[in-house]
Amino acid sequence: MSRLPGCLALALLIGVVALGFIGLLSAGGSGAAIDWGYVWSLVRISLIQAGLSTAVSLVLGAALALALARRSRFRGRMLLIAGFNAATVLPAIVTVFAIVALFGRSGWIGEAARAVGLDYGSWVYGLDGVLLAHILLNAPLAARVFLAGLGAVSAEEWRLAAQLGMPPGSVFRFIDWPVLRREAAGVAALMFLACFSSFAIVLALGGGPRVSTLEVAIYEAVRFEADFSRAAVLALVQVGACAAILLPALILFGRRMSEAPPGGVAAMRPDIGSQRLRLLDGAILVLMGFLVLVPMATIAVGGVASLASLADGAVLVAMLTSLAIGVPAGALSVALALGLATLARDLRLRLLRPGLADLTGAAATLILVVSPIALSAGLFVMIRQWVNPFAVGIPLVILVNGLMALPFTYRQVEPPLLLAAERFGRLGDSLGLRGFGRLRLVEWPLLRAPLLVALAMATALSLGDLGVASFFGRGELVTLPVLLHERLGSYRVAEAGSVALLLTLLVAGLFLLAQRVSGGSIARPR
């Protein structure tokens, strides 16, 4: 297939980021020396925090994926999955309030404990609170990736396992574990970077400057110090630190080529009959429901209280504005991911340069740690040399949001593309299928479901964006998050809660729609 779209996507990605950094560096600064001890302490705590968050999310995500794979048929499974999916893209501020509403001093558990005479105070603030919030965001993300991987195990493998009489332990060891291990590196990288650059959550739940993040220093440099070159250096340190971890990890644990299996039938798993596993899966679903869905339920309860405040034209307009930005941004992100993943696949399979392919994937992932405020500021400086940024505000917001969602869309799109090549690549070549026709005939059947999920996710991420839009707009773009912050910022906490509820429902609805349209749950691609 043509490499042109992929090269263009890569050029756009690198170009925009480079432009942002050049702009920021050229905007100047105070020239004050950077306190590297302070920077290093931020990097260190971020490493610890992100490492822990990633490890726990991986384990819980794997458990959740296995439970959902084994229990492939129960009432409400689709809704449950949509709920888990929605959790992965909640805006940070909503996540914070959801966690606090359940685990906080006056949260549901705290109140229940007090009712029986226990007061456990504010334990949720500190590293554990940050972990809880990051698990809420990331464990379902990992679960989704793992579930898709498990869904691609061949039917023969399951039949063979049944034939050989594999006990549950062996099924895990010989079938599930290899899939988990194969998928872990990519999703772990994604989660690590997301946690590393996490900002509002870390501050709100971190309990104090002991648990902090480099993004704080970047934010501070842009806002309070107007020291843009300092912000640029700090943002580069963030990218550099993450690249230094990500690249060796990709080389060590990166995707190994597997014998490409056709999609399997989850119902064929021989271990679904095990009574002990049934209990375990029940326990896992309850635990994850408790950690992820119950906090989200608190949003619903909080929002219902002032549902009337949604009956306001401004809310409808904000919703439409959000969608008018989110849907194109989502589509752009998916298109860029397709281009990049096709390029990476070509590099890997045809040009036999797996290193370059991994690098392309890393580029698509690393944008996650490019500080949004730094990038926005830098781009703003550059763009205004040529055009009035306000005149191109909307396309810019869509562009930046689309790029920011790229790590997630890429992660969704890359595996099925590779699978399609392994399975039908030679056939497609021999038939001379190329370009769009090939995409439609060869890749589309495998891509449909992940692509739709990617679109839902990218759109949802863009719906939740606040900072980027505010930098390029004149303020006329009152999106749902802007409305949320406006209400919160003017004491209207309950009314803000109803906007948070609306945002959550909207996101869950997007995922539900994607799942429906793609024909059933994501776990069973066939």
Partner 1 sequence: MLVLDDVRVVYPDFEVRYDLTVPTDALCALIGPSGGGKTTLLHTVAGFAPVASGTIRFDGRDLTALAPAERPLSILFQDHNLFPNLTAAQNVGLGIDPRLRLDGAARRRVEDALARVELAGLGQRRPAELSGGQRQRVAIARALVRDKKLMLLDEPFTGLDPGLRADMIALVDALRRERGLTVLMAIHSPEDAASVADLVAFIADGRVDAVGPPSEILAPGRSPKLDRYFRRSG
Partner 2 sequence: MLPQPIAARCIPAAFVRAGAGSPYRKGHAMNHLRAGAAALALALTPAVASAQAPTLTVYTYSSFAGAYGPGAAVKTAFEAECGCVLEWVTTEDAGTLVARLLLEGPSTGADIVLGLDTGLMAAAGTSGLFAPHGLALDGLDLPIEWTDATFVPFDWGWFAFVYDSTALAAPPQSLEELVRDPNGPMVIIEDPRTSSPGLGLLLWMKNVFGDEAADAWAALAPRIVTVTRGWSEAYGLFLDGEADMVLSYTTSPAYHIIAEDETKYRAAIFAEGHEMQVEVAGIVASTDQPDLARQFLAFMTTDAFQSAIPEGNWMYPAADPAGGLPAVFADLPRPATSFLMPPESVQANRRTWIDEWIAALAR
Residue 106 or 163 with smaller CB distance to partner 2: 106
CA distance 383 to 227: 19
d(CA 468, CA 326): 12
Give the one residue of 4, 11, 18, 35 binding partner 2; rule: CB under 8 A. Answer: 35
Helix (H) or strand (E) holding 333: helix 313-345
Contact of residue 164 among partner 2, partner 1, none (CB under 5-8 Å per partner type)? partner 1
**x/- binding map, residues 201-240, to partner 1, per CB under 8 A?**
----------------------------------------
Tracing tokens 């059947």 back to the chain, one arrives at: 445
Q: Out of 44, 210, 426, 516, point to the residue binding partner 2 (CB under 8 A).
A: 210
At its nearest, how many Å lie between partner 1 and the CB of residue 427? 14
Q: Provide the mask over 447-486, with x wherever binding to partner 2 is found by CB under 8 A and - wherever it is not.
A: -------------------xx--xx-xxxxxx---xx-xx
Nearest C-alpha neighbor of 180 from the set 145, 215, 212: 145
Residue 167 binds partner 1 (CB under 8 A): yes
- Out of 31, 76, 432, 489, name the contact with partner 2 by CB under 8 A: 489
- What one-character-per-residue DSSP string does 204-215 give? HHH-STTS--HH
Compute the CA torsion angle 160, 285, 405, 205 (nearest 10 deg).
-140
By CB under 8 A, the residues from 178 to 197 that bind partner 2 are none
* Residue 294 contacts partner 2 per CB under 8 A: no
171-190: contacts with partner 1 (CB under 8 A): 173-175, 178
Say if residues 211 and 130 touch (Cβ distance below 8 Å): yes
Q: Tell me the HSE value of 97 on the side-chain side, using a 13 A CA sphere.
A: 23
Alpha helices in 405-479 (DSSP H): 406-430, 435-438, 444-463, 467-472
Task: Check: CB of residue 489 under 8 Å from CB of residue 419.
Answer: no
Q: Tell me the CA end-to-end span of the chain in Å, nearest whole number.
A: 25
Rounded Cα distance between 381 and 52, Å, is 37
Q: Which of 32, 281, 74, 262 is nearest to 168 (CA)?
A: 281
156 lines the binding site for partner 1 (CB under 8 A): yes
Site string for partner 2, 345-384 (x = CB under 8 A): ----------------------------x---x--xx--x
CB-wise, 103 or 146, nearer to partner 2?
103
User: Which of 20, 61, 270, 497 is in the footprint of partner 1 by CB under 8 A?
Assistant: 270
- Output the smallest distance, CB 124 to partner 2, in A: 9
Q: Quick one: which of 496, 462, 467 has its CA closest to 94? A: 496
- Helical (H) or strand (E) element with 36: helix 36-70
Using rule CB under 8 A, residue 77 touches partner 2: no
Angle at 187 (CA atoms; ends 67, 357), nearest 5 degrees: 135
- As measured in angstroms, the least distance from the Cβ of 518 to partner 1 is 21
- Which span sits near partner 1 by CB under 8 A: 71-79, 169-177, 302-310, 458-466? 169-177
| Amino acid occupying residue 89 | V
Which stretch in 230-238, 254-262, 353-361, 496-504 sits in contact with partner 1 by CB under 8 A? Answer: 254-262
Residue 121 vs 165, nearer CB to partner 1: 165
Q: Which does 154 bind (CB under 5 to 8 A by kind): partner 2, partner 1, none?
A: partner 1
Q: Which does residue 160 touch among partner 1, partner 2, none (CB within 5 to 8 A, set by kind)?
A: partner 1
Q: Which of 407, 44, 37 is nearest to 241 (CA)?
A: 44
Q: What is the CA radius of gyration of the chain?
A: 23
Is residue 259 a contact point for partner 1 (CB under 8 A)? yes
Q: Scanning the structure block, which residue is given the tokens 């001890």?
A: 37
Q: Which two tokens stand for residue 53?
A: 């968050």
The whole-angstrom separation of Cα 121 and Cα 221 is: 35
Q: Could you give the dihedral angle defined by the CA atoms of residues 50, 407, 181 and 84, in that order, rounded to the nearest 10 degrees? A: 80
For residue 210, the minimal CB distance to partner 2 (Å) is: 5
By a kind-dependent CB cut-off of 5 to 8 A, residue 312 interacts, out of partner 1, partner 2, none, with partner 2
Based on the shown chain and the rule CB under 8 A, indicate whether residue 268 belongs to the binding site for partner 1.
yes
Cβ closer to partner 1: 175 or 417? 175
Stretch that binds partner 2, among 27-35, 49-57, 264-272, 424-432 (CB under 8 A): 27-35
- Smallest distance from the beta carbon of 194 to partner 2, in angstroms? 17
Instruction: Report residue 375 as tokens.
Output: 């990038």
Among partner 2, partner 1, none, the one that 15 touches (CB under a kind-dependent 5 to 8 A) is none
Contact partner, 219, from partner 2, partner 1, none, Cβ < 5-8 Å per class: partner 2
Which of partner 1, partner 2, none does residue 137 bind to, with CB < 5 to 8 Å depending on kind?
none
- Report the C-alpha gap between 376 and 470 in whole angstroms: 9
Q: Which residues bind partner 1 (CB under 8 A)?
A: 154, 156-157, 159-167, 169-170, 173-175, 178, 257-259, 261, 268, 270
